[in-house]
Amino acid sequence: MITPRASTTPMTGLELSRRSLLKYFGVGTAALGAAPLLGACGDGGGAGGASKFTVASFPGDNYLLDAVNVENKDFAKHDLDVPKLVAPQSGVQAMQLVVAGAVSGYASDTLLQMATFANGTKGKRPVIVGIRTPSTTYGIVAGKGDWPSPDASFEEKMQSLKGKRVGVTAVGAGGDLKLRLALELAGMAYDDVTHLATGPSASAAPNLTGGRIDAYVTVQWTSTRFVAESANRPVLLDFSDPTVPETLRNQAVCIVAVREDMVEKQPEVVQNWLAAQWDAHEWMLANKEAAADLLNRTGLGGKAPHIATNYIDHYVADVAPSIKPMFKVPEQTIEQMAELALRFGNIKEGDISFEKIVPDFARA
């Protein structure tokens, strides 16, 4: 189902109740009913004394660390009781589940996390305890029709979207925020395109080939290439391309988020989760073929081993060297991303500071 862009942007203005937030972001009453069960995540007393912990995750490269943790049983090694990964409908929904206490941890889009923090209640706000991806992973896949050539300028490619229907996972989610930034950098307005919430990338290729959308904003490195290949359509724009403005290209797009009160009450549990993720990171570097196979199986439906292999090569050569030990968070990165969030009205002056949003143990 495709949902037209709402007339208001998520997470602006007045604070909403937990039920209103979940309903607004599409969780619905079924998830609310499950929330008390999931809400125990982070409580002690799991199997063998392990702490109960719930991780929200999606298929794909941004979340491969989660899949590795499951495959290698890393959670148990770090005294975490994680029965299974929770699969939300979108990043927006995942972040609201964190706020509601129904999810313990989630690797979120950075701008989405900052907007949620700025509009949240102290104690329930998501804070940043790590940076998984210190570079951009987003792209735009074109649908039917004629489009600019690959060597066209960034501005020409973006202008070709004017008046078109552009799919995003959810209005207000990371892909939508990046689209907004790209439009502005090309001298365009947010409303120059129609923003359609089409859900995760699995639905992108059918929507593109069926003519229901004219383009789709991909969130992950592999999804850009997989959607383009599945739909037999071109990649209009890879946000990491050198021709893309640095403001859009040079972003740390994926952070590790947990609720503020979990950091205050159970810092050791949070650090255990970070340690499990670091184990997965090091395993990927040492086991490239196995990592590519796992990514292909869990993130690409077993259909794109070449894309998975190319991603692991990219991760080892381009991503990993920029990741700080234990995903530590540099102050400069937070300042840079906060400036972007402020620029686009996701936050107000003074809402975000390094000291407010990053706990001591997570600082580089």
State how far the alpha carbon of 138 is from the alpha carbons of 88, 174, 175, 222, 255, in Å. Answer: 19, 9, 7, 10, 15
Residue 264 CB neighbour total at 10 angstroms: 12
Question: Do 61 and 152 share a structural domain?
Answer: no
Question: Do 149 and 126 share a structural domain?
Answer: no
Q: Considering its fold, how many domains does the chain have in total?
A: 2
Residue 9 lies in a domain: no
Q: What is the mean pLDDT of residues 146-151?
A: 96
- Cα gap 97→94, rounded to integer Å: 5
CATH number of the domain that 118 lies in? Answer: 3.40.190.10
Question: Do 131 and 260 share a structural domain?
Answer: yes
Question: Do 125 and 43 share a structural domain?
Answer: yes
State how far the alpha carbon of 276 is from the alpha carbons of 22, 48, 69, 83, 324, in Å. Answer: 29, 17, 7, 15, 15
- Cα gap 310→222, rounded to integer Å: 9
Q: What is the mean pLDDT of residues 272-277?
A: 99
Question: Do 118 and 158 share a structural domain?
Answer: no
Q: What is the mean pLDDT of residues 322-340?
A: 97
- Cα gap 108→354, rounded to integer Å: 17
Q: What per-residue confidence (pLDDT) applies to 173?
A: 84
Question: Which of 4-8, 195-199, 289-293 has maximum average pLDDT?
Answer: 289-293
Q: What is the mean pLDDT of residues 13-23?
A: 31
- Cα gap 222→227, rounded to integer Å: 8
Question: Do 336 and 264 share a structural domain?
Answer: yes
Question: With 60 as the cut, is the pLDDT of residue 162 above it?
Answer: yes
Q: What per-residue confidence (pLDDT) applies to 343?
A: 86
Q: What per-residue confidence (pLDDT) applies to 199?
A: 87
pLDDT of 277-289, one tens digit each? 999 999 999 999 9
Q: What is the mean pLDDT of residues 339-364?
A: 94
Question: With 80 as the cut, is the pLDDT of residue 252 above it?
Answer: yes
Question: With 50 as the cut, is the pLDDT of residue 97 above it?
Answer: yes
Residue 295 lies in a domain: yes
Domain that holds residue 197: 139-249
Residue 18 lies in a domain: yes
- Cα gap 59→200, rounded to integer Å: 9
- Cα gap 128→140, rounded to integer Å: 27
